[in-house]
Amino acid sequence: MLDQAFGVKQQALASTSGSWMEPILHQLLALRPLRKSSQRENLMEEVCRLGTLLFLAPLWRTLGQSPVWTAAISRNLLFVLARNDVEWHELNPLLVWVLYFAAIETNNHAERSHFAFMLSVRMRDGHLKYWDDMMQIIKGVLWVENTFAGSDKKIFDEVLRNLNHEPSVDTSVAAAPNLLGESQHHIEGE
């Protein structure tokens, strides 16, 4: 559904009439769930709030805007995740989604490495053998193909290195897993 929202005509309308994302971003920036308490629910809400901001920032940039400083958001997310150990159980796909957008959105190499490591742990814990399986989890939460296609190239190699495995196929940019599932990258040793 969001792919249709980012067609050429819709992009032009959103760029000239004010973006539909402004009220959403404003609300997400105003929310502060950790001010209520640091209970599990509030921590998860804060992680999701920050992850949603990181997801929306590239969409807004697609519309020609620079809404927020994502460096501060990814740093805050890393801080919240590092200081709090929360079990996500059935909401684990949501955490994977947040980690993915944090990893691709940060320009800080050290932060990206932390997020890539967390993704590799989730991949290992989820017994995922293929990178495409991880991408399907991420795309199953919320995804805009024409904005995020190929974005995994930033972190694919690092996640696999963290798993201490070498992919059984070429991992060059040209051979990176396509998001249509035509290619499966198997992780050896599973």
pLDDT digits (tens, 9 = 90+) for 111-120: 999 999 999 9
Q: Is residue 151 part of a domain?
A: yes
Reported as half-sphere exposure (CB side, CA atoms, 13 A), residue 108 has a value of 14
Domain count along the chain: 1
The pLDDT of residue 60 is above 70: yes
Which two tokens mark 129? 């053998």
Q: Which residues contact residue 112 at a Cβ distance below 8 angstroms, ignoring those fewer than 6 apart?
A: 103, 106, 154, 155, 158
Q: Is residue 162 part of a domain?
A: yes
Q: Is residue 71 part of a domain?
A: yes
pLDDT digits (tens, 9 = 90+) for 6-35: 556 555 555 554 456 666 666 666 667 667
Lowest mean pLDDT among 41-45, 63-67, 72-76: 63-67
Mean model confidence pLDDT for the chain: 76
Q: Which residues contact residue 42 at a Cβ distance below 8 angstroms, ignoring those fewer than 6 apart?
A: 33, 34, 36
C-alpha distances in angstroms, 47 versus 13, 14, 102, 125? Answer: 31, 28, 10, 20
The pLDDT of residue 97 is above 70: yes
CA distance 88 to 145: 26
Q: Is residue 82 part of a domain?
A: yes
CA distance 97 to 6: 20
46 near 94, Cβ under 8 Å?
A: no
Q: What is the mean pLDDT of residues 130-146?
A: 93
Q: Is residue 132 part of a domain?
A: yes
CA distance 28 to 88: 21
Q: Is residue 164 part of a domain?
A: yes
pLDDT digits (tens, 9 = 90+) for 149-167: 999 998 999 998 988 754 4
Amino acid symbol at 169 = V
Q: Is residue 185 part of a domain?
A: no
Residue 21 confidence (pLDDT): 63
